[in-house]
Amino acid sequence: MQSAKRKITVSILGASGYSGAMALRILLRHPGVTVDKVFGTTSVGETVSSMYPSLRGLTDKVYEEYTADKTANSDILFLALPAGHAMKVVPEMLQSRKKVIDLSGDFRLKESSLYKEYYKETHVSEDLLDSACYGLPELSRAAIADSQLLSNPGCYPTSSIIPLAPLLKNGLIEPNDISISSLSGVSGAGRKSTMDLSFAEVDGSVKAYRVGDHQHIPEIESVLSEYTGQHISVNFVPHLLPAVRGIYTTMFVTPKKNISPRQIGEAFEDAFKDEPFVRYLGNEIPELKNVVGSNFIDIGWKFDKRNGKLIVFSAIDNLIKGAAGQAVQNMNIMFEFDEKEALIV
């Protein structure tokens, strides 16, 4: 691992949004990191502390307009941009030998046709899709370490893929009978204000949205299919929760014939025993309040004896394990820092 005395230099594009600001907050306390530039669009010229008063006294950075020459001293770039923006700037970053962590969905799907179908835009850097590493540490730690372009997973997929992967990898559940119900806090939609996300609209209510066409459906299916070597199909329904942060996911799956609860428990225990940010709870049901503000994912499960269904639960903070925290975790792996650096507080 790198000595804490040696530092890398980091710049952040989209640092004025929720995920970018959270990445900045975490990186400011990282002993191996110097934050160089923070870039915004509508926030150019404003200080970070004026937009995020909780960062007063921690940084005097001012949001700048991005140009490639301003990142000449940066070893790695964090891109916390809306979908469709990263793919336009990543090629020049890679040509200048920068390492890149993209927090958007621009490089998560290997097929450009899927990107166009679910993101409603033509991919302009499709030649880079195969080389982008999908950065879920619990599945691909070795590939992350060697990557130059890393695609940070989505929050919903993180909450679903980590619990499902060991069950599918060990052949314990049916690969095409998976139903996922996820609830997200409103910060998952970003900082841009809309009527649908106003307090008056979300308070006291829960509603499903983008049923059947959410962009995280192909992400979940393709990552699990590649990891397990079999075709995986899921039903996925996201819901808007009247809370600021957090993802709570319930997965309904069918165990294969003669699979026992003991086998299920052993598969989880074996998969997660050395994972620093997976808290496996066994038959205890996770609670959202226990993960908000952390990079942990809490996982539990119950077996329904009435119908033989296995019900798996997970909880994460969408801005940390679902975005910025996982990005820093990936950076730690890429630069051989302690994987937990700046993420255990």
Residue that has been written with the tokens 């069950």 in this structure: 167
Q: 345 near 28, Cβ under 8 Å?
A: no
Of 207, 286, 216, 275, residue with least CA distance to 249: 286
Q: Of the listed 33, 55, 100, 155, which one is catalytic?
A: 155
Task: Name the nearest CA neighbour of 59 among 24, 30, 11, 13.
Answer: 24
Q: 3-state SS string over 18-69? A: HHHHHHHHHHHCCCCEEEEEEECCCCCCCEHHHHCHHHCCCCCCECECCCHH
Token pair of 196, please? 């649908």
Contact residues for 35 (Cβ-Cβ < 8 A; gap 6+): 9, 10, 11, 12, 24, 27, 28, 59, 61
Query: Euclidean distance between the first and final Cα of the chain, in Å?
Result: 20
CA atoms within 13 A on the CB side of 324: 29
Residue 133 is a catalytic residue: no
* Distance (Å, whole) CA 143 – CA 219: 18
Query: Active-site positions?
Result: 155
